Amino acid sequence: MSIPDMPSSKPILEINNLTQFAVEDGFFEKVARETLSDSGRVCLAGKDVSISVALVSEGEIAGLNKRYREKDRPTDVLSFCEYADSEDLCNNEDKDVFLGEIILCPQYITRSAKEQEVSFEFELAYIFSHGILHLLDFSHGKEMFSKQEETARRLTDKKIKNI
């Protein structure tokens, strides 16, 4: 469900690429815009939404995963929400809304794309959308997975991911 007058047509992203991976200009903005629009979070309509994004090595994300999730291994994405839940997010009356930080590991995502037999761009869109949905208080489940898959299919090579 697309929401009219959702956040500014261009979400504000602070991207810190601490890896050697190159990502097409505007890629993250397109994924963020689509994910926010399809999220159903009408409370964000008319607000300027910002997200911090970091691309890090497997070693870095493994350390963060151990520290914050007590899982001693690398992962594809970590999301650090600014709000306790969707009610807290929607009760914010500020025009400028910082959702939180998403940390991505391109090395991990590259391997995952090969295993899933999808393009790197598809998997990156899928995983970045996943991170945004967590910032919006979505939990793992059919609704979340279908939203991120639809976003990735719309914006990339249209391959269908097996989930």
Task: Write down the pTM of the prediction.
Answer: 0.91
Residue 108 inside a domain? The answer is: yes
Structural domain tally of the chain?
Answer: 1
List the single range of 16-25, 65-74, 104-113 with lowest mean pLDDT.
Answer: 16-25
* Nearest residue to 110 (alpha-carbon basis) of 122, 93, 99: 122
> Mean pLDDT over all residues of the chain?
91
Residue 111 inside a domain? The answer is: yes
Q: Rounded to whole angstroms, what are the CA distances from 72 to 4, 100, 140, 161?
A: 42, 23, 21, 27
Q: Give the confidence band of 119 by pLDDT, cuts at 50, 70, 90.
A: very high
CATH number at residue 135: 3.40.390.30
3-class state of residue 85 by DSSP: coil
Give me the amino acid identity at 67.
R
- Residue with the larger pLDDT of the pair 42 and 10: 42
User: How large is the average pLDDT for residues 30-59?
Assistant: 95
